[in-house]
Amino acid sequence: MTTYYTDQHEWIRVDGDEGTVGITSHATEQLGDVVCVETPSIVKVLAKGDEAAVVESVKAASEIYAPVGGTVTAVNETLAGEPANVNADPEGEGWFFKIKIADKAELATLLDGDKYQDFVKGL
């Protein structure tokens, strides 16, 4: 499995032709305590960059964008009752949705872990 990042602080962990999407630790630090998560519907088709989900915190509401295009295959239903999982484990149990990737070539436009860390240091 390989993890990629966007400059909007989403991550996608790719396993075959499916990716699991969430937000980074940096994003959760900026947001503060997450109080609500709206995930996309299963079978929703997203283009790269489409608004896919919404995360609300005590500070603000933020859109979560699809890092690649594809079809939503699963959502993390535990977040409805336990949105704090996003803060507790943003790059693990706090994932938002899974997507069947339509075009794996889109992954080449994303950042690897080192490039994402350099990006965050420059903020």
CATH number at residue 19: 2.40.50.100
| Domain annotation covers residue 13 | yes
Split at pLDDT 50, 70, 90, the class of 16 is: very high
| Domain annotation covers residue 33 | yes
Domain count, the chain: 1
pTM of the model: 0.97
d(CA 98, CA 35): 21
| Domain annotation covers residue 50 | yes
| Domain annotation covers residue 113 | no
| Domain annotation covers residue 123 | no
Task: For 23-74, write each residue's pLDDT tens digit.
Answer: 999 999 999 999 999 999 999 999 999 999 999 999 999 999 999 999 999 9
Residue 121 to residues 12, 26, 115, 116, 117: CA-CA distances in angstroms? 20, 10, 10, 9, 6
What residues pair up with 74 in beta bridges, in sequence order? 98
User: What residues make up the domain containing 73?
Assistant: 2-103
| Domain annotation covers residue 108 | no
DSSP three-state, residue 3: strand
Q: Of 14, 9, 41, 42, nearest to 106 (Cα)?
A: 14
| Domain annotation covers residue 64 | yes
Contact in structure between 75 and 97 (CB atoms under 8 Å)? yes
Phi, psi angles (nearest 5°) of residue 102: -75, -40
